[in-house]
């Protein structure tokens, strides 16, 4: 399993628009991408404009399919409006285990 973690800041006043866009992106990921296993979005308790996404995919090919899916272009356009420039940090990592 491959984890994609994204940390970013949302432009003040655009939080609700951002949440609608990321929710649509997550729903499309599950619908359109068989390799998408989970999509979590969390918000910093001390700063409700700082978000972290944690997405789980079957493998690197599934991450590639996510990035080339048509809805990802829609997300990128939304991110350009809602995300503070330069604040987004993406990390790909291998999931070693999961406990719940």
- One digit per residue, the tens of pLDDT, for the chain of length 100 reads 999 999 999 999 999 999 998 898 888 888 888 899 999 999 988 888 999 999 999 999 999 998 898 888 888 898 889 999 999 999 999 988 877 7
CATH number for 2-94 (one of 3.40.50.620, 3.40.50.300, 1.20.1440.230, 3.30.70.100): it is 3.30.70.100
∠ Cα 2 62 96 (to 5°) = 15
Give the C-alpha separation, 63 to 45, whole Å: 28
Question: What is the end-to-end Cα distance of the chain in Å, rounded?
Answer: 16
């Amino acid at each position: 399993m491959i984890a994609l973690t994204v940390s970013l800041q949302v432009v003040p006043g655009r939080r609700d628009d951002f949440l609608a866009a990321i929710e649509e992106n997550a729903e499309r990921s599950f619908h359109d991408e068989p390799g998408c296993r989970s999509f979590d979005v969390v918000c910093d308790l001390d700063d409700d404009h700082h978000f972290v996404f944690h997405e789980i995919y079957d493998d690197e090919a599934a991450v590639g399919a996510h990035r080339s899916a048509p809805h990802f272009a829609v997300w990128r356009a939304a991110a350009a409006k809602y995300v503070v420039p330069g604040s987004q940090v993406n990390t790909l990592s291998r999931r070693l285990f999961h406990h719940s």
